[in-house]
Structure 1
Amino acid sequence: MSASRFGAKILQACLSNPCKRCILEPHAVISKASNASPLAAAKHTIAVTQTRLFTNHRSYSVIPSAADDLLRKPEPVSQSNVGQSITQLQNDALLTEDYFGVGDLFTLDDLFEARVHLGHKEGLRHAHMTPYIYGNRLGQDIIDLEQTAIHLKLALNVLAHIAYRQGLCLFICRNRRNAILVEETAQACGEYAHCRNWRLGLFTNATFMYRSMTRLPDVCIFLGTLDNVFAQHKAVHEAAKMQVISIGVVDTNSDPRIIAYPIPGNDDTPSSVKLFCNLFKKSILLGKERWTKDESFLK
């Protein structure tokens, strides 16, 4: 009898009545029947590993071997599976407290050196900014930087998550001295800026203003929430009405109530505004870079 016929008979005998050796050592049987076809050998291994032999009230179970790969067909990757993987990945990012590491972007010393703690005169203080004020020195309010750090980290984390999900970010500033800096910051991170006079209805009546269906930004970043010393920026109210997330630097003369993520800080001094612009830009870039990395991993 030839070797191939002998191997085929071994396989046929083991498939019809598997012995204990076949159950516990399937590779040994396949090695004996090495001249049999690979498909028959693979079938033998799968059949053996799915069979149990009861001897002396003891059950022998075997882990499926690597021969399963010979019969397993690769599952086609559908668009729905990719979409579910992306959604799962984005949801997992929300479970991490600081997924993008925005807490390492700044320290209390950075805030102090940028003069973020300097507020306005005591007579201009807004009543709802009192909890964020540390004290008063020579008639000037001093902002509590510990609270600023907490609110700033939260706002940067939210901003990074929005950028991670390909959201649109709109920088808004009405201070002419800081307008160029804000526009350059938005351009550097691939986002948008509005530093001119705000026309009523840009958010609330966008379809009429732009003559077509328009996508509103996912977040508005206010480098100062006032139009002038006393009047609040019109975009603050429109963003709240249209449920657009707002992140705003609120000075001691500002109203923080309808800002979704207020950041107590100096919104006038150039060094302070420059620090906030750099932090916002870095957070957006961190979110976009992380998305590029995760997306390439899925592919």
Structure 2
Amino acid sequence: MSEAFTMKELLEAGVHFGHQIRRWNPKMKKFIYTKRNGIHIIDLQKTAELANKAYEVMKQLAAANKKILFVCTKKQGQESIKEAAVKCGMPFINKRWPGGLLTNFITVKESINKMKRIERMEADGSLEKLTKKERNKMIKKKEKIDSLLGGLKELSNIPDAMFVIDTVREKNGIIEAKRLGMTIIAMVDTNSDPDLIDHPIPANDDAIRAIKLFSDKMSQSVNEGLSEATGGEAGENQMKEEDMIQTEEETTGEE
């Protein structure tokens, strides 16, 4: 098993800092090393062990052509999770969890298709044939859907697995995923319930550096899995796609 996570980078990212003692979940006791200044300190040896196992799980899922949904709706992780998902060609949710996203996926898919139709109308010029009022209404509708579901644009079916940053914040999504039997990989802070997660990683899920570290590493693991499955073509093609997205953003001035 490859050692994707090192103790040094976990320390530097502040992964070991948990929540205030009064906010802890007793189920996290086995992952806590000590208490310091009213804060629980996570055992990084256990973090490294479980993080490396999770890395392999993500890699194997990708190698089997499984779709993994990247989820982080907290403000400090929105860009990191988006960038990580785009780099490996996986779907993401980074604004808020839409109720029924997984359990009522047909309705979600209808919204995505509606957004795509409006985009096609923009591209072929047919949108310009509408009145200004109708045109603005459709553009606003497209932007609203894109803001919430844009990260799912290429998702044709319910994903097979989910990588989550904050299990307390994303509890509704986790409940939906468990109901459908999806594999769940997640960072679990000292206020979390690790029993809800198939592959828990004890870690600080609030620090920007910690969120970015895990997002980037899991994206890397997916690309490794895709590369194994296709003999190296997947990673190369995804890099080309990422370059195209970056070029388009520079051209349009969008983020």
The corresponding residue for 1:144 is: 43
Aligned-residue CA RMSD in angstroms? Answer: 2.0
Q: Secondary structure at the match of 1:257?
A: helix
The superposition leaves residues 148-193 of structure 1 with CA deviations (integer Å, 9 ceiling, x where unpaired) of 1111111111100011011111110121121011101100111111
Over the matched positions of the two proteins, sequence identity in percent amounts to: 33
Asked if the contact 1:170/1:193 (under 8 Å) is kept, the reply is: yes
Asked if the contact 1:206/1:214 (under 8 Å) is kept, the reply is: no
Letter of the 1:252 partner, please give it.
T
Distance 1:195 1:288 in 2: 23
Letter of the 1:189 partner, please give it.
C
- Pairwise CA distance, 1:209: 4.1
Distance 2:223 2:232 in 1: 14
Q: Residues 208 and 278 from structure 1, CA distance in 2 versus in 1: closer, same or farther, beyond 3 angstroms?
A: closer
Superposition misfits of 4+ residues, deviation over 6 angstroms: none
Question: Does structure 1 residue 125 correspond to structure 2 residue 24?
Answer: yes
Match of 1:223 among 165, 177, 184: 165
The corresponding residue for 1:293 is: 231
Distance 1:150 1:168 in 2: 24
The corresponding residue for 1:269 is: 207
Asked if the contact 1:207/1:214 (under 8 Å) is kept, the reply is: no
The superposition leaves residues 196-234 of structure 1 with CA deviations (integer Å, 9 ceiling, x where unpaired) of 22222111122344359951111100011122xxxx521
Query: Aligned residue pairs: how many?
Result: 191
The corresponding residue for 1:176 is: 75
Asked if the contact 1:174/1:226 (under 8 Å) is kept, the reply is: no
Q: Secondary structure at the match of 2:62?
A: helix
Q: Secondary structure at the match of 1:268?
A: coil
Greater Cα offset, 244-253 or 203-212: 203-212
Distance 2:173 2:102 in 1: 8
The corresponding residue for 1:160 is: 59
The corresponding residue for 1:280 is: 218
- TM-score normalised by the chain length of structure 2: 0.70
Q: Residues 215 and 143 from structure 1, CA distance in 2 versus in 1: closer, same or farther, beyond 3 angstroms?
A: same
Q: Which runs of 5+ in 1 are unaligned?
A: 1-97
Distance 2:107 2:227 in 1: 36
- Pairwise CA distance, 1:246: 0.5
Distance 2:185 2:75 in 1: 20
Q: Secondary structure at the match of 2:231?
A: helix
Distance 1:174 1:126 in 2: 21
Letter of the 1:222 partner, please give it.
V
Letter of the 1:260 partner, please give it.
D
Letter of the 1:221 partner, please give it.
F
Letter of the 2:62 partner, please give it.
A
Q: Relative contact order (alpha carbons < 8 A, sep ≥ 6): 1 or 2 greater? A: 2
Distance 2:188 2:80 in 1: 18
Distance 1:195 1:265 in 2: 19
- Pairwise CA distance, 1:252: 0.5
- Pairwise CA distance, 1:270: 0.9
Q: Secondary structure at the match of 1:239?
A: helix
Match of 1:240 among 178, 191, 215: 178
The corresponding residue for 2:149 is: none
The corresponding residue for 2:12 is: 113
Distance 1:246 1:260 in 2: 5
Greater Cα offset, 275-284 or 212-221: 212-221
- TM-score normalised by the chain length of structure 1: 0.60
Match of 1:198 among 91, 97, 106: 97
Larger radius of gyration: 1
Asked if the contact 1:245/1:260 (under 8 Å) is kept, the reply is: yes
Asked if the contact 1:119/1:142 (under 8 Å) is kept, the reply is: yes
The superposition leaves residues 31-76 of structure 1 with CA deviations (integer Å, 9 ceiling, x where unpaired) of xxxxxxxxxxxxxxxxxxxxxxxxxxxxxxxxxxxxxxxxxxxxxx
- Pairwise CA distance, 1:106: 2.2
Asked if the contact 2:81/2:92 (under 8 Å) is kept, the reply is: yes
Q: Residues 141 and 151 from structure 1, CA distance in 2 versus in 1: closer, same or farther, beyond 3 angstroms?
A: same
